[in-house]
């Protein structure tokens, strides 16, 4: 899904069909793996966090965070444990 020139409409695709949808028909569900304004070191801290009681890692191996890139304007960065 991407925003067209008019921010009140979204270009959406479902079942291979594409079309414009008014923004008030769309609701975005947050994903726990997406952290929009998150610097690299914060993403790494989240992935390497340990439980204070057990000392065990909170996140399993293979856990990941997608965030906005700090160096590539519209791009994204992926941090993986």
User: Which CATH fold would you assign to the domain 31-81?
Assistant: SHC Adaptor Protein (3.30.505)
Global pTM reads 0.63
Contact call for residues 46 and 59 (beta carbons, < 8 A): yes
What is the pLDDT, as a whole number, of residue 66?
A: 96
Listed in order, the ranges of the chain carrying CATH 3.30.505.10 are 31-81
pLDDT in tens, the chain (81 residues): 445 467 788 888 889 999 888 989 888 788 999 998 899 999 999 999 999 999 999 999 999 999 999 887 788 999 999
Report the alpha-carbon distance of residue 24 to residue 52 in Å, rounded: 43
What is the pLDDT, as a whole number, of residue 3?
A: 54
């Amino acid at each position: 899904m991407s925003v067209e020139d008019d921010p009140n409409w979204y270009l959406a695709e479902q079942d291979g069909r594409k079309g414009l949808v008014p923004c008030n028909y769309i609701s975005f569900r947050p994903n726990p793996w997406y952290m929009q304004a998150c610097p690299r070191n914060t993403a790494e801290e989240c992935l390497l966090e340990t439980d204070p009681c057990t000392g065990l890692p909170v996140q399993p191996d293979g856990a990941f965070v997608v965030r906005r890139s700090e160096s590539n304007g519209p791009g994204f960065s992926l941090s993986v444990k």
